[in-house]
């Protein structure tokens, strides 16, 4: 079974990811996620994983539970 290497986005990829997270949508729909993945050159799985981790960090910084489906920003 193949395991995916840990993702370390480049500075340029991080800029794109952060821009989309902060300015566009913290919860991208599948189409938007696909477009962001294409723009960064990352896989959709890597992009989704990044968004999930970044959302957990954001929630923690805001004093919110790291996993909560009931509160949408």
Convert the pLDDT of each residue in 13-41 to its tens digit: 999 999 999 999 899 999 999 999 999 99
Tokens linked to 40: 């960064």
Position 1 scores a pLDDT of 47
Contact (CB, 8 A) for 9 and 42: yes
Q: Is residue 4, in this structure, part of any structural domain at all?
A: no
Instruction: Tell me whether residue 67 is in a domain.
Output: no
Structure token digits, residue 46:
């890597």
**69 part of a folded domain:** no
> How many domains does one find in the chain?
1
Q: Does the residue 2 lie in any domain? A: no
Q: Which residues are CB-contacts of 2 (< 8 A; sequence separation ≥ 6)?
A: none
Handedness of CA 68, 64, 8, 3 (dihedral sign): negative
Residue corresponding to tokens 């960064």: 40
Domain boundaries, position 56 = 11-62
Residue 48 counted as domain residue: yes
The 10 Å Cβ neighbour count of residue 60 is 11
Query: What CATH code is carried by the domain that includes residue 32?
Result: 1.10.10.60
């Amino acid at each position: 079974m193949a395991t995916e290497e840990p993702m370390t986005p480049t500075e340029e990829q991080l800029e794109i990811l952060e821009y989309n997270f902060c300015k566009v949508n913290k919860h991208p729909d599948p189409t938007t996620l696909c477009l962001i993945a294409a723009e960064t050159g990352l896989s959709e799985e890597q992009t989704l994983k990044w968004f999930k981790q970044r959302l957990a960090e954001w929630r923690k910084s805001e004093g919110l539970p790291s996993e909560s489906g009931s509160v949408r920003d």
